[in-house]
Structure 1
């Protein structure tokens, strides 16, 4: 992976823990051995936090939407139990929450988790949630297009930076499951 993606100035995330949410930094300390890349190949770049939302970020930093990934938290209920999952999809797609994700969670209805709930349960900032460092009990559903992308930009757990990582590494995270058709093309 190149040291620059668009105009991002990246460096090893392990050397810039100040640019990561605490759960993300902790996850990098115990990076899975089976991951297709080493933890030192997880890169981070500082960004303007007012430009953290995908469209604004891509435009400002010259990163293409097909190389930008989003991590959304989905919640569904069955009885008194709320089930959560993280969905990792390319910015050119949207997660099929009420189809694929609802069936995966085995719930009647699934929806994006409310912002305050997603933030408190992940320990990350809204708009910066990433699959690295999520609660271990949550499945991480990764659209197959993400792992087919050589490198992607994704949140770092905070709004003032982004992570650059090999797409296949996201499919190898603990609890990750690669799913064909998890997302649908936008537009």
Structure 2
């Protein structure tokens, strides 16, 4: 699917249209991204991908090595809880300069007594993604996608885009936060993040 040869610079990375570079996306991410692009024409040109050193996939190392603004990075954590014997799982997405309010906001949204982070082996097995690259694009459809409302508003320090995982440790995805806010299944939540 060739849509564009446009490149962009964010920090010290060269970003290319993600729909044109499936080799830089986990299989589930690629499938979900193509389905999303078929529904929303902005996705083909606005969702970008860049190759990185997989040893630098964690946020602190990534921002330092590639001169990326810390406010641009958005972390995706997988959280689960049980209610009446039924497990409820969500991805909570917050800017890396904050942290997800798991013990109050996420717990309340899932309507569970206790919410806990998914263990790494389970998170990677169920998502089909690599740890350090987990992204909301392509997660199982029964996961809720909770996005802190601050992510959809441009942060002046972030350059108009946010950076999320690609499903792989060797690449990252960049896109406008407002676009992620209208992705299929995403719920924009006020107060999901703690400073």
- 1:18 lines up with 2:28 in the alignment: no
Per the alignment, residue 187 of structure 2 pairs with 177
The TM-score normalised by the length of structure 1 is 0.94
- 1:77 lines up with 2:82 in the alignment: yes
Deviates more, 1:167-176 or 1:89-98: 167-176
Per the alignment, residue 156 of structure 1 pairs with 166
Residues paired across the two proteins, number: 185
Per the alignment, residue 136 of structure 2 pairs with 131
The TM-score normalised by the length of structure 2 is 0.90
Instruction: State the Cα deviation string for residues 77-126 of structure 1 (Å, max 9, x = none).
Output: 12322110011110001000010000000101001111111111111011
1:1-187 equivalent positions in 2, closer than 5 A: 3-31=8-36, 35=40, 37-149=42-154, 150-185=160-195
Residue ranges of structure 2 left out of the alignment (5+ in a row): 1-5, 155-159
CA RMSD in angstroms comes to 1.6
Alpha-carbon distance in structure 2 between the residues aligned to 1:59 and 1:179? 29
Instruction: State the Cα deviation string for residues 5-53 of structure 1 (Å, max 9, x = none).
Output: 1001110111111110000100122115665832332100000000000
8 Å CA contact 1:76, 1:110 repeated in 2: yes
Residue ranges of structure 1 left out of the alignment (5+ in a row): none
8 Å CA contact 2:7, 2:17 repeated in 1: no
